[in-house]
Structure 1
Amino acid sequence: MRRLTLAVLLVLTGCAPTGGGDSLGFAAVDLSATPETLATHGNQLLVGTRPADHPELVVRGENGALVNSKLIPTTPYGKEAHWYGITSDGTTITGVGGERGGAHGNVRWSAWTGDTRQITEKPQGFSTFGGYGAGELIGPVRTKQGPLIIGTWQSDKAGLDIAVWTYAAETWSRQPSLGTVLESSQELLRFPLAVTPNGDGALVVGWQIAKGAVSAAVWQFDGKSWTTATLPDGDAALAARCWDGTCHVVGRSKGKLAWWSGPEWKKLTTPDVPVGDDAKLAAPVPVNGVPTLFVDHNGVKAVSEKEERPANGLKGEVVAAEAVGGEVFVIVGGRLWRAA
């Protein structure tokens, strides 16, 4: 990756820094629709967007050119979907969309597969993601064995299990959670919140409650089986990203930012940043080799283990962050920004 200097983040290059050090400017990327999610596709950036009433997928090439992938919906709700997540193995793109509807206002899910030229909704049976026992979908994740969709489903014992769907012959199939670390019980309820690729497998993060005690937790898939770990001194793990053999998990502990580094799951000491019970966090990204979290804390800040610095001019909720081809992108305040 080209070197990126972590310092005061500015909307426009040339604005005066306020915290000292070199500045990294951010410039708005001109999109014709609201960005909802980000993903990488090799050295290209995928931006899931939504104009007023339908989804779109924008591909930003290495030269900065923006091209819309052709989307082919096949269901009424697919035509109206918001993006819940996109993933890619560098060749095949997998997406999950959803839009609320029906008598109970539940999310009607749509699953998408394709490449940068064309991505098509693959219709599934209603009971695949919906119907009696259905929970929520967290999003897709690529693994060496193929794409997975992570979500929740009614448990055989209590509450909701963490659920995993696999893909073959254009069909998504939910795998049994019973007897695995993904199942809930009357003694232990599990709640997944986010998923990210991890080597050949995947890392799911969230929280659990056992005998009234709440703790942050992770569930790891190595390509063959699932294992779980409780994160020290944490209430919930909200987002994660893995690179160079290390997973960076961010979440909440007693109303403050918590950051863990795995696979040892050491809790790091970080700047004092409040994180509310209903807060969402974007996954950390590497900036000049430093794991960095963009968070709205009286204005957008760049937070690392060592420091917190302001991002002058960036205001609003931080929805997503990605690093690709030596560049950093963030969705903030309903717009896409690129580190200049």
Structure 2
Amino acid sequence: MVILARMRRLTLAVVLVLAGCSSGGGNDSAGFTAVDLTATPEALAAHGDVLVIGTRPADHPEVVLRAADGTLTNARLTPATPYGREAHWYGISSDGATITGVGGERGGAHGNVRWSAWTGDTRQIVEKPQGFSTFGGYGAGELIGPVRTKQGPLIIGTWQSAKAGLDIAVWTYAADTWSRQPSGGTVLESSPELLRFPLAVTPDGDGALVVGWQIASGAVSAAVWRFDGTTWTTATLPDGDAALAARCWDGTCHVVGRSKGKLAWWTGPGWKKLTTPDVPVSDDQPLTAPVPLHGTPTLFVDHGGVRLVSEKDERPADGPSGEVVAVEKAGDGVFVVAGGRLWRAG
């Protein structure tokens, strides 16, 4: 009887330990470590194993580089225009050799964004001044951001359409000059029957993937526009109102957005909609692109606090709080900008 009682107590203890290990709450949270910076981070990019951090102190842009060992250094930043000296970072991209950035600051009589284009490497990043009509002036829309492709860097944005609304616009780069390419006659062109609205861009193989939404005959749907290095094609995403962010790796593109006020997640190039946890996404809520975290595609979203969402589940982040504005994987680290601070997962 004594032996039986001891066995029962031992069994109960094991059950309690296992229950504690599998319970919710703090034990399920993902740990993060703050990366201390001297200015607010606005944009992230991976430059090989180096994390490129676009920051902005009180009144000017900076670029901080975080090496794989955690060392922080500042890249030399050389502005060339008054608005370049005051720019916020709208996007940074890298192909591992060259860094391309888009900055902007509002000014002038109408308070429009005055754009600045930057290029360089980890030693120096230089603003390349452009003619006012390159990104501004009559017909100008917005710039979404830069993207590196095998054919060279692109800047994606919008420009007044010859038919209706705004076209998706693409600028190419050569001899220090950005040149807008014609959208007419391509799937980037809007018309009275089909209006297009790009929201984000990411590298995709040799080319790029642009995501956003469109209105066709009064119906709103999420959409993508894919550049294979030569030609642009488009697809409508199933059961979606808007695609807000995307990232491609290992031959698969992960696109996240909104469907009837809830999180929607698609994978391509076949564009299958995944079943995900029930996460609300409001009409004005931004999303950042998923990243591979420990081999699992993971989205970081502010949902009652910063949470990690995968196709299977969601769990809280231990550390970050506030709106998530940028996520990037550099080397073996995953980094998140939330609440105006930079955090490293793990």
Q: TM-score, normalised by structure 2?
A: 0.92
Q: Which residue of 1 aligns with 2:25?
A: 18
Deviations 1:92-138 (A, max 9, x none): 10000000000000000000010001000000000000000000000
Displacement of 1:312 after TM fit?
3.2
Unaligned runs of 5+ in 2: 1-22
Report which of the two structures shows the higher radius of gyration computed on alpha carbons: 2
Q: CA deviation at 1:19?
A: 5.5
Residue 62 of structure 1: CA displacement?
1.3
The two structures, once aligned, show a CA RMSD in angstroms of 1.1
SS at match of 2:58: coil
Give the 3-state SS of the residue equivalent to 1:205 in structure 2: strand
Q: Identify the match of residue 34 of structure 1 among 18, 33, 40.
A: 40
Distance in 2 (alpha carbons) for counterparts of 1:95 and 1:18: 40
User: Quick check: 1:299–1:312 contact (8 Å CA) kept in 2?
Assistant: no
Q: 1:150 aligns with which of 144, 153, 156?
A: 156
Please list, as runs of the form range in 1=range in 2, the aligned pairs for 1:184-263 lying within 5 A after superposition: 184-263=190-269
Match of 1:94 in 2: 100
Cα distance in structure 2, aligned partners of 1:176 and 1:62 = 41
Amino acid at match of 1:175: Q
Counterpart Cα distance in 2 of 1:132 and 1:24: 48
CA contact (8 A) 2:31 2:318 kept: no
Letter in 1 for 2:167: D
Distance of 2:318 and 2:45 partners within structure 1: 25
**Correspondence for 1:311:** 317
Q: Structure 1 CA distance, aligned partners of 2:279 and 2:288? A: 14
Tell me the residue number matched to 2:129. 123
Q: Is the contact between residue 320 and residue 343 of structure 2 (CA under 8 Å) also seen in structure 1?
A: no
Q: 1:44: Cα distance to partner?
A: 0.6
Runs of 4+ in 1 over 4 A off after TM superposition: none
Question: Secondary structure at the residue paired with 2:110?
Answer: coil
Instruction: Check whether the contact 2:31–2:319 (CA below 8 A) recurs between aligned residues.
Output: no
- What CA distance in whole angstroms lies between the structure 1 residues aligned with 2:68 and 2:83? 33
Corresponding residue for 1:339?
345
1:322 lines up with 2:328 in the alignment:
yes
1:54 to 2:60 alignment: yes
1:284 match:
290
Q: Say yes or no: does 1:77 pair with 2:83.
A: yes
Identity of aligned residues (%): 81
8 Å Cα contact 2:92-2:146 kept in structure 1: yes
Once residues 200 and 302 of structure 2 are traced to their aligned partners in structure 1, the CA distance between those partners, rounded to angstroms, is 19
Q: Hey, what's the Cα distance between the residues in 2 that align with 1:95 and 1:245?
A: 25
Q: Which has the higher helix share?
A: 2
